[in-house]
Amino acid sequence: MPEYFPEVKAIKYEGPDSRNPLAFRHYNPKQKVLGKTMAEHLRFAVCYWHTFKNLGGDMFGVPTIVRSYAQGSDPMVIADQTMRAAFEFFTKLGVGFWCFHDTDIAPEADTLAETNKRLDRIVKLAKSLQNDTGVKLLWGTCNLFSHPRFMSGAATNPSPDVFAYAATKVKKALEITRYLDGAGYVFWGGREGYETLLNTDMKRELDHLARFLHLAVDYKKQIRFKGQFYIEPKPKEPTKHQYDFDAASCHAFLQQYGLVGHLKLNIEANHATLAGHAFIHELAYCVANGILGSVDANRGDELLGWDTDQFPTNLYDTTLAMYYILKGGGFTTGGLNFDAHVRRQSIDPVDLFHAHVGAMDAFARGLKIAARLLKDRPFEKFIARRYAGWDGGIGKQIEQGKAGFAELEAYTMKRGEPKTVSGRQEMLENILNDYIA
């Protein structure tokens, strides 16, 4: 079997003092942190689309990257080679999981029946490679945004024919995800939104999106697929406005349409910032509401207003992300999927390794720091003191519904002006810095 990454051997943990750029300094898969191994906590996944299909093309220029496995005239030969290259990469990197869209692994043919045959062929190969390597599928998904038929949306398309076509595609995507024992399945509404309200029946589109998800839930039961469903918020791009805007609007949508309990959220760092939120705001919202499922681990650029999908390297972000993920009980079905791509100038295969090694180390460090924060509990202790007024007296009465406006008026008249108390933000930020150092 040809090697597609002959220049790289298996990446090893060498400890914090190593200067080998192709070694982990912090990610030691078997090392225990808070009772679980790092591998069990972090559940790293490599994404197929960016890592193996993105060749550096952008709106202004053609691809810059040439991959040995992407050569040839037969698209199915390329698909086969790419799948083998992917599993070589997963194994050398030492990740436990991967994620894909249907169209990433097998190119669409002229008819849907033929496309499905192609998928069956390639999925069989993926299954045997999974068996050989022990690498598992974190989640599968369906690309309902690239083809022109989906230009006005999939489930929210004005045409029921497109809704039906999308349903047919998702049906197949669920079947192959189940066949590959996927731990989950993601719904990301790439074009489920609008460009202008002047041509859009918003109420109808929302109803249709909910109907679509209910049909998927029904079919999941029918085929006994045990994986977790996720919805992935993103406010815009490609459309001007997407209905799955952010965690809170997805939550409201799921509640409105009786879908809570069927879908959790897949939070992507760069999508959070596009929505005007910090990554950890989205995670904290999900944890507070018991809906955190999985994470697309990447980052944006503070100065650019789009989904740059860069590899996560910021220790504040990885630390606080792991802090909230651990507070939420840690991952069960979910994990950290690197929905990120190397920059257009990073043209060598080895750049894929540098990108993932750095990102995995950044999260491993974040995990270790978060574990120390949760052991010492500096923020929890501060927060407990800050809210202590609610543990007894009038606070407890309010929380228990035992005090109405009349009682609160009587209390306030007697007590007078409330005391103001410092929030101590700077002190708390300094404490966080001490832990990160």
Determine the Cα–Cα distance for residues 297 and 60; give it in Å rounded to an integer: 26
Q: Who contacts 268 (Cβ-Cβ below 8 Å, separation ≥6)? A: 232, 233, 234, 295, 296, 298, 339
Q: Can residue 102 be called a binding residue for Ni ion (CB under 5 A)? A: no
**In the numeric block, which tokens belong to residue 366?**
């974040």
Please report whether residue 24 would count as binding ligand XLS according to CB under 6 A: no
Q: Is 268 in the site for Ni ion (CB under 5 A)?
A: yes
**C-alpha closest to that of 324 among 359, 272, 258:** 272
Q: Enter the DSSP assignment of 419.
A: P
Question: In this structure, are residues 262 and 213 in contact, taking their beta carbons and an 8 Å threshold?
Answer: yes
Q: Could you say which of 26, 41, 50, 101 is catalytic? A: 101
Please report, as residue ranges, which positions from 216 to 255 form the binding site for ligand XLS (by CB under 6 A). 232, 234
User: Catalytic: 110?
Assistant: no
Q: Is 246 a catalytic residue?
A: no
Taking the C-alpha atoms of residue 164 and residue 289, their distance in angstroms, rounded to an integer, is 33
Q: Which is nearer to ligand XLS, 319 or 337 (CB)?
A: 337
Determine if 213 is a binding residue for ligand XLS (CB under 6 A).
Answer: no
Residue 141 interacting partner from Ni ion, ligand XLS, none (CB closer than 5 to 8 Å by kind): ligand XLS
Q: Which of residues 330-369 bind Ni ion (CB under 5 A)?
A: 339
Q: Which of 51, 81, 115, 141 binds ligand XLS (CB under 6 A)?
A: 141
Q: Which does 186 bind (CB under 5 to 8 A by kind): ligand XLS, Ni ion, none?
A: ligand XLS
- Report the distance separating Cα 220 and Cα 173, nearest Å: 11
Pairing of strands 32-33, 36-37: antiparallel
186 contributes a contact to ligand XLS by CB under 6 A: yes
Q: Provide the 10 A C-beta neighbour count for residue 133.
A: 13
104 touches Ni ion by CB under 5 A: no
- Select from 426, 418, 356 the least CA-distant residue to 86: 356
User: How far is CA 185 from each of CA 162, 244, 264, 383, rounded to the nearest angstrom?
Assistant: 21, 16, 10, 36
Binding span for Ni ion by CB under 5 A among 37-45, 86-94, 276-284, 304-312? 304-312
Using rule CB under 6 A, residue 361 touches ligand XLS: no
Active site residues: 101, 104
Q: Which residues bind Ni ion (CB under 5 A)?
A: 268, 296, 307, 339
Q: Which residues bind ligand XLS (CB under 6 A)?
A: 101, 141, 186, 188, 232, 234, 268, 296, 307, 339
